Amino acid sequence: MKNNQAFNNAGKLTALLCLITIFLTPCVIVNAGERGVLMKFGEVQAQILGEGLHFIIPVVNTVAKLSVRVQKQEISAEASSKDLQDVFTDVALNWHIIPEEANVIYQQIGNQENIIERIINPAVEEVLKAVIAQYTAEEIITKRGDVKLGVDQALTTRLQNYHIAVDDISLVHVHFSELFGEAVEAKQIAEQDAKKAEFLALKAAKEAEAKVNLARGEAETYRLLRDGLTKELLQKQAIEKWNGKLPLVIGKESPKIWDFSELIKSYK
């Protein structure tokens, strides 16, 4: 009796465990920000499982989960400019898996680590080299917005082929070799010296022009004064200054008083 009872208890426990296993196994939970890739005997299915609880057939179905949230990837890359200068760039890329194509990317590439190593990093490096090669080192500095836009557009097009969307890309830091930095500094100093020399030359020319204009003005004033001193003007000035007394001339002969009319005639 005891053996039969123990056997019955063991059978009940086994049955209970089987029921629990059967009950729990066909349930899969897809968390927020994820998509479930449904497979049947290892074959990827067209159906993509969204967030929430899903029932599957044990043994027949398996589910691989992929995050479709925005993820950040920081990459350092080296490239050459149009004028063959070494350019070192630190890039911050925000990207995410296109949710509706999670099954395809899993089938073609695999899990998230494979996506970063095999797709994201090589794509960023190749696009940077292609875009930076279109600009000189100086243009990379002065046209940084254009460089960023070119990288963004090229990378977006490239990653779409791998079912990945680009949310944003930032050129965090762009720097050059020490030799290039020294060359830029020397060029800036030369430009400043040239501007200073140009300013001094312009200042000297203005000062010379002012002196010439002053000399011309003085000459013109002298000419006007000279032309204005006519005989009539001299006579008028003499009359205005006369005190009413006739000049007395003393000589060997008796003193002689000049006639006023003769005096006036003497000015003519």
pLDDT of 10-66, one tens digit each?
Answer: 667 777 766 666 555 578 899 999 999 999 998 999 999 999 999 888 888 999 999
Question: Is residue 136 a contact partner of residue 82, using CB atoms and an 8 Å limit?
Answer: yes
Residue 239 has a pLDDT of 64
Residue 41 has a pLDDT of 92
Considering the domain architecture, whether residues 53 and 98 belong to the same structural domain is answered as: no
Residue with tokens 């691989």: 64
Residue 259 predicted with pLDDT over 80: no
Tell me the percentage of the chain whose pLDDT exceeds 70: 67
Residue that is last in its domain, among 176, 193, 218: 176
Tell me the CA distances in angstroms from 55 to 40, 42, 49, 95, one per residue in order.
13, 17, 10, 30
Considering the domain architecture, whether residues 82 and 165 belong to the same structural domain is answered as: yes
Considering the domain architecture, whether residues 163 and 189 belong to the same structural domain is answered as: no
Considering the domain architecture, whether residues 247 and 197 belong to the same structural domain is answered as: no
Question: Is residue 30 a contact partner of residue 50, using CB atoms and an 8 Å limit?
Answer: yes
Considering the domain architecture, whether residues 136 and 204 belong to the same structural domain is answered as: no
Residue 5 has a pLDDT of 59
Residue 44 has a pLDDT of 92
Q: What residues contact 238, with CB distance under 8 A and at least 6 apart?
A: 267
Q: What residues contact 71, with CB distance under 8 A and at least 6 apart?
A: 94, 95, 96
Considering the domain architecture, whether residues 224 and 261 belong to the same structural domain is answered as: no
User: Would you place residue 8 in the very low, low, confident or very high pLDDT band (cuts 50, 70, 90)?
Assistant: low
Residue 183 predicted with pLDDT over 70: no
Residue 4 predicted with pLDDT over 60: no
Residue 10 has a pLDDT of 64
Considering the domain architecture, whether residues 76 and 159 belong to the same structural domain is answered as: yes
Considering the domain architecture, whether residues 214 and 236 belong to the same structural domain is answered as: no
Considering the domain architecture, whether residues 137 and 223 belong to the same structural domain is answered as: no
Q: What residues contact 227, with CB distance under 8 A and at least 6 apart?
A: none
Q: In a 3-state reduction of DSSP, which class is residue 98?
A: coil
Tell me the CA distances in angstroms from 267 to 234, 252, 264, one per residue in order.
8, 25, 6
Residue 215 predicted with pLDDT over 90: no
- Taking alpha carbons only, the member of 187, 201, 266 closest to residue 234 is 266
> DSSP characters for 21-89?
HHHHTTEEEEPTTEEEEEEETTEEEEEEE-SEEEE--TTTEEEEEEE-S-EEEEEEEEEE-TT--EEEE
Over residues 110-124, the mean pLDDT reads: 90
- In this structure, what CATH number is given to the domain that contains residue 130? 3.30.479.30
Q: Which long-range contacts (CB under 8 A, 24 or more apart) does 231-235 make?
A: 231/267, 231/268, 234/267, 235/264, 235/267, 235/268
User: Number of structural domains, the chain?
Assistant: 4
Question: Is residue 165 a contact partner of residue 95, using CB atoms and an 8 Å limit?
Answer: yes
Over residues 80-97, the mean pLDDT reads: 91
Residue 267 has a pLDDT of 47
User: Would you place residue 185 in the very low, low, confident or very high pLDDT band (cuts 50, 70, 90)?
Assistant: low
* Residue, of 203 and 61, whose pLDDT is higher: 61
Q: What is the 3-state secondary structure (H, E, C) of 138-177?
A: HHHHHCHHHHHHHHHHHHHHHHHCCCEEEEEEEEEEEEEC
Considering the domain architecture, whether residues 93 and 121 belong to the same structural domain is answered as: yes
Considering the domain architecture, whether residues 63 and 76 belong to the same structural domain is answered as: no
Q: Which of 127-131, 159-163, 183-187 has the lowest mean pLDDT?
A: 183-187
- Looking from the CA of 250 toward its CB, the CA atoms found within 13 Å total 0
Considering the domain architecture, whether residues 155 and 90 belong to the same structural domain is answered as: yes
Question: Is residue 66 a contact partner of residue 105, using CB atoms and an 8 Å limit?
Answer: yes
Residue 205 predicted with pLDDT over 60: yes
pTM: 0.59
Over residues 190-200, the mean pLDDT reads: 66
CA 234 to chain centre: 78
R_g of the chain, CA atoms, integer Å: 51
Residue 57 has a pLDDT of 86
Residue that is last in its domain, among 106, 141, 176: 176
Residue 250 has a pLDDT of 52
207 burial via Cβ count (<10 Å: 0-12, 13-18, 19+): exposed
Kindly state the greatest CA–CA separation across the chain: 193
Residue that is last in its domain, among 18, 41, 67: 67
CA 130 to chain centre: 19
Q: State the residue range of the domain holding 251.
A: 231-266
Residue 20 has a pLDDT of 62
Taking only the tens place, the pLDDT of each residue in 164-174 is 999 999 998 88
